[in-house]
Amino acid sequence: MSYNLLKGKRGIIFGALDENSIAWKTAKLAHAEGATFVLTNAPVAMRMGEINKLAEECGSEIIPADATSVEDLENLVSKSVEILGGKLDFVLHSIGMSVNVRKGKAYTDQNYAWTEKGWDVSAVSFHKTMQTLYKQDAMNEWGSIVALTYMAAQRTFPDYNDMADNKAYLESIARSFGYFFGKDKKVRVNTISQSPTPTTAGSGVKGFEGFLSYAEKMSPLGNATAQDCAEYTMTLFSDYTKKVTMQNLFHDGGFSNTGVSQEVIEKF
């Protein structure tokens, strides 16, 4: 079912890897809602993923870019504006990575070179992306920039490791840059704090399955799926949320405001 929410809107979607990824589902939905956009991912992720299939389905062009490289981002933004025939209305930042998590390094035993890499990919890349959009004046007024985050930025989930710090930093960048983007360009910047979601990125966290079912039992509405997240993102890209900015929006079936649920009490 389409509402034409994004008719005539142009954007960039980062991070579509495969059909489980939130960015992939967001792209499919944005296409159905009438948007045109460029897809981008890191060259290494593009070799792993099936992004060409998605591009075909959405009539999109792909521009490879390492989101930690300002040069790559400058090329991505200027080319996107050129390809799409005008300034952008939306951008989705859906990228995150922790080398420490991947290599099984405990939070108390970090390899700091890996920490810096993860921080750059997961958080600083959001600043680099926005700074590039800002300097090129590439966003239309009332445009919308969204990044995906997780509640480990506020509360401790031991196995989430240094990704928790990356997400806290990401959310802070959204507020800080959101102020300037709002004042100077009338553009809104928000983060969506999503339920744990079985994507390629999410499933890399130790004990993920157990945690997924715990979150499901804790949330009055159950976990929000990747598809649910894509649908929520449409509202933030649309003209119906023009005054929502600098927010961290919990999209988690009520998990974030639940102290304990009946199911969890019964289980323990």
pLDDT of res. 200: 77
Structure tokens at 204: 């890399």
| 22 marked as part of a ligand binding site | yes
Structure tokens at 219: 């949330």
| Torsion angle of the four alpha carbons 210, 211, 212, 217, in this order, in degrees rounded to the nearest 10 | 90
Cβ pair 102, 159 in contact under 8 A: no
Strand partners, 265: none
Residue 1 lies in a domain: no
Residue 71 lies in a domain: yes
Distances (CA, A) of 178 to 6, 42, 250, 251: 22, 25, 17, 20
Specify the pTM.
0.97
Cβ pair 158, 211 in contact under 8 A: no
Catalytic residues: 150, 160
Q: What pLDDT digit, counting tens, does each position of 93-137 carry?
A: 999 999 999 999 999 999 999 999 999 999 999 999 999 999 999
CATH number at residue 239: 3.40.50.720
Q: What pLDDT digit, counting tens, does each position of 151-207 carry?
A: 999 999 998 999 999 999 999 999 999 999 999 999 999 999 999 998 877 776 777
Q: What pLDDT digit, counting tens, does each position of 26-49 carry?
A: 999 999 999 999 999 999 888 877
Distances (CA, A) of 37 to 29, 86, 172, 214: 12, 11, 27, 36
Residue 5 lies in a domain: no
pLDDT of res. 36: 98
Domain of 247? 10-267
Residue 3 lies in a domain: no
| 219 marked as part of a ligand binding site | no
| 15 marked as part of a ligand binding site | yes
Helix locations, 120-206, DSSP H: 125-135, 163-185
pLDDT band (50, 70, 90) for residue 89: very high
pLDDT of res. 83: 98
Structure tokens at 14: 């980062």
pLDDT of res. 137: 98
pLDDT of res. 210: 86
| 259 marked as part of a ligand binding site | no
- Per the structure, the count of domains in the chain is 1
Residue 4 lies in a domain: no
3-class secondary structure, 124: helix
d(CA 141, CA 194): 27
Residue 217 lies in a domain: yes
Cβ pair 246, 190 in contact under 8 A: yes
pLDDT band (50, 70, 90) for residue 243: very high
- The mean pLDDT of the chain is 96
pLDDT of res. 206: 74
Helix locations, 49-69, DSSP H: 51-58
